[in-house]
């Protein structure tokens, strides 16, 4: 379930009037792209297969770039490049973290240059007025995070200034929720485009950008979400928004993600109201969880009608939901939450991942498929140092590699984006649906095998 909203694009004249520095992007041409492609290195590295696949993904992404008078961007679908996607989930912003991780893993200056020119393109697309789209995966929060992360690598002043501009616009766009205490940016509660995702970005900004006002605003976002909760039994649940009747209980669009943000907010503030709400969300989730044959647990996709359908990756499955229980275990010291993480991992194996099933179809992505699962098990290995997790992450990664399509000296993945449209297959570039997400998962797995910690972890990741 992804809403294809985009930020408002300024005109070229608006970008010039705003004083944005686009010179670096405008200097990028086909000769530079060719050089960047070549830098990824030829041939196979049998000792570092996952690094090799990440580089192959990079070569295909490199060839998919569009360069015009606005700079360089990566269309989600290179075969259908217009209009541009400007969200972390599916567009150019989500390709940049891959380049940043590749640079951190290899020291390749060309990968950093790709990140830099991609960030320059984002500078030219920042809204010039008030925005209503401030989400993490769909909206300005994701772009602000990408610009700040790019500045870490480039140390370019324009990237820091762009991140600061985007950050200021997010804060300015907050509106009272009607309760007298809370704020929201849109009629959405969730991680992808709603208050929970924006709140996680604000907590990241408070820590990493050392902006105390971000914490104050995150608290008000949390207050709005507490008010928006719907009592169920002795627990609470959150729907995507007031107009969507269907309930998606897992991480991306429902109770799992909102409760995760509220638990994280309690961790940052010590305010009990947020922990109590998160624990009430867990009581609801525990009540609807289903057991699997070997002691696993998982939560259905949605209701009404999909109570027997189980997704298995980040968006609606154990790989995302485990983040909530992992965080609560760290906050409370209660081992039952950490045991539930193990049960979620067991359920993933019980459901025969990476084989296909109704909830695990022809999809290798971070959102719904293989790479979300591989990231989960890689993270569990780094957190618990249990080689069973690493072995399973490798198993899923090897299946992902086997399902790739060689394209010259690069690699892409042709997949069905949606379960309900199995014959609509496409090779995409982006983070949550495409090759950048594959490359990032492969780099994280390579790092786990060779003692390198991830350089790029998104604001909703508790395992860093």
Q: What is the pLDDT of residue 282?
A: 98
Q: What is the dihedral of CA 68, 73, 79, 81, to 10 degrees?
A: -70
pLDDT tens string 364-379: 999 999 999 999 999 9
Separation between Cα atoms, residue 406 and residue 426, nearest integer Å: 14
Is pLDDT above 70 for 32?
no
> What pTM does this model have?
0.91
pLDDT tens string 158-217: 999 999 999 999 999 999 999 889 999 989 999 999 999 999 999 999 999 999 999 999
Q: Among 254, 261, 109, which residue's Cα sits nearest to residue 200? A: 261
Q: What is the pLDDT of residue 132?
A: 73
Of the pLDDT bands very low, low, confident and very high (cuts 50, 70, 90), residue 332 is very high
pLDDT tens string 254-265: 999 999 999 999
Q: What is the pLDDT of residue 12?
A: 21
Is pLDDT above 80 for 115?
yes
Residue 414 near residue 438, CB atoms below 8 Å:
no
Structure tokens at 307: 């109570």
Residue 318 dihedral angles phi and psi, to the nearest 5°: -60, -35
Q: What is the pLDDT of residue 130?
A: 80
12-21, 47-56, 434-443 — which is least confidently predicted? 12-21
Handedness of CA 26, 27, 30, 33 (dihedral sign): negative
Is pLDDT above 70 for 25?
no
Average pLDDT over residues 28-42: 47
Q: What is the pLDDT of residue 245?
A: 93
Q: What percent of the chain has pLDDT over 90?
A: 83
Average pLDDT over residues 49-68: 97
Average pLDDT over residues 333-362: 95
Separation between Cα atoms, residue 197 and residue 139, nearest integer Å: 10
Q: What is the pLDDT of residue 15?
A: 27
Structure tokens at 232: 């169920």
Q: What is the pLDDT of residue 44?
A: 62
147 vs 40 pLDDT, higher one: 147
Q: What is the pLDDT of residue 274?
A: 98
Which residues sit opposite 297 in a β-bridge? 291
2-6, 48-52, 292-296, 332-336 — which is least confidently predicted? 2-6
């Amino acid at each position: 379930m992804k809403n294809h909203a985009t930020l408002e694009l300024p005109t070229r004249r608006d970008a010039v009037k705003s004083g944005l520095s686009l010179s670096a992007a405008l200097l990028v041409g086909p000769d530079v792209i060719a050089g960047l492609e070549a830098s990824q290195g030829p041939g196979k590295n049998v000792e570092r297969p996952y690094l090799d696949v990440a580089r192959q993904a990079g070569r295909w992404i490199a060839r998919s770039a569009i360069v015009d008078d606005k700079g360089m961007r990566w269309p989600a679908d290179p075969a259908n490049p217009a209009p541009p996607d400007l969200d972390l989930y599916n567009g150019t912003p989500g390709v940049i973290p891959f380049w940043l991780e590749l640079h951190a893993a290899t020291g390749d200056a060309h990968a950093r240059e790709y990140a830099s020119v991609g960030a320059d393109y984002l500078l030219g697309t920042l809204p010039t007025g008030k925005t209503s789209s401030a989400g993490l995966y769909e909206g300005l929060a994701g772009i602000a995070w990408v610009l700040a992360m790019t500045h870490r690598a480039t140390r370019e002043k324009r990237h820091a200034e762009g991140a600061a501009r985007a950050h200021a616009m997010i804060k300015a766009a907050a509106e009272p929720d009607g309760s007298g205490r809370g704020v929201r940016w849109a009629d959405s509660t969730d991680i992808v485009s709603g208050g929970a995702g924006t709140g996680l970005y604000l907590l990241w900004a408070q820590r990493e950008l050392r902006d105390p006002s971000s914490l104050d605003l995150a608290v008000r976002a949390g207050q709005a979400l507490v008010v928006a909760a719907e009592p169920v039994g002795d627990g609470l649940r959150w729907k995507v928004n007031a107009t969507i009747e269907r309930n998606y209980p897992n991480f991306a669009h429902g109770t799992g993600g909102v409760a995760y943000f509220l638990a994280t907010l309690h961790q940052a503030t010590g305010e009990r109201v947020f922990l109590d709400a998160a624990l009430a969300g867990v009581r609801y989730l525990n009540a609807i969880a289903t057991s699997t044959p070997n002691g696993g647990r998982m939560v259905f996709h949605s209701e009404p009608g999909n109570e027997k359908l189980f997704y298995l990756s980040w968006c609606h499955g154990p790989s995302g939901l485990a983040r909530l229980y992992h965080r609560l275990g760290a906050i409370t010291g209660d081992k039952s939450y950490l045991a539930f993480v193990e049960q979620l991992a067991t359920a993933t194996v019980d459901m025969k991942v990476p084989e296909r099933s109704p909830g695990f179809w022809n999809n290798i992505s971070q959102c719904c498929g293989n790479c979300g699962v591989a990231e989960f098990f890689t993270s569990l290995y780094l957190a618990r140092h249990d080689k069973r997790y690493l072995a399973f992450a490798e198993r899923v990664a090897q299946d992902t590699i086997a399902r790739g399509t060689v394209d010259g000296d690069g690699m892409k993945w042709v997949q069905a984006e949606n379960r309900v449209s199995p014959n609509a297959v496409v090779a995409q570039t982006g983070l949550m649906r495409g090759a950048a997400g594959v490359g990032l998962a492969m780099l994280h797995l390579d790092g786990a095998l060779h003692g390198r910690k991830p350089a790029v972890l998104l604001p909703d990741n508790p395992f860093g």
